Amino acid sequence: MLLKTPLVAITAAVLLQGCIIVDGDHSWHDDSGWKKQQARNVENIGLLELNSSRAQVMDIMGRPDFTEAFTRGDKDFYVLYYRTHRHKSDGETSKSETTPLVFEDGRLIGWGDEAMQSAIVY
């Protein structure tokens, strides 16, 4: 019996070599997690209505990937960025993979690159 224990341990070590145990939330490393989130974001953007409050939009969209705020003239602008498309598979979300939602004085004035450019040059 004493001889079998080391043999079992060695056999187990050889068979388990290369196995990886993953614990925790790894949905962004799993293709289906980010794909589902992107699809949900695209779908939810289609539900948005201009002039909605930032709170109303966040109720629909959830937490943004990035946020920005700036003032032009006497207007305050907020931009919430949501991941909607992938450029490269690096496990990270960049702004180039997002759609900006633009708010002027707390109200949604548009989304997408054109809305962002309009706010910047205001």
> 61-94: per-residue pLDDT in tens?
999 999 999 999 999 999 999 999 876 665 666 6
The answer on pLDDT for 7 being more than 60 is no
Average pLDDT over residues 12-19: 46
**Which pLDDT score, from 0 to 100, does residue 28 have?**
46
**Which pLDDT score, from 0 to 100, does residue 26 have?**
43
Among 56, 34, 53, 33, which residue's Cα sits nearest to residue 44? 56
Average pLDDT over residues 40-66: 97
Burial of 44 from C-beta contacts in 10 A (0-12 / 13-18 / 19+): middle
Q: How many CA atoms lie within 13 A of 112 on its CB side?
A: 7
How far CA 88 is from CA of 20, 92, 95, 115, in Å, comes to 25, 9, 12, 25
Query: pTM score, two decimals?
Result: 0.70
**How large a percentage of the chain has pLDDT more than 70?**
67
Domain annotation for the chain: domains and CATH numbers: 50-122 (3.30.1450.10)
**Which pLDDT score, from 0 to 100, does residue 73 have?**
92
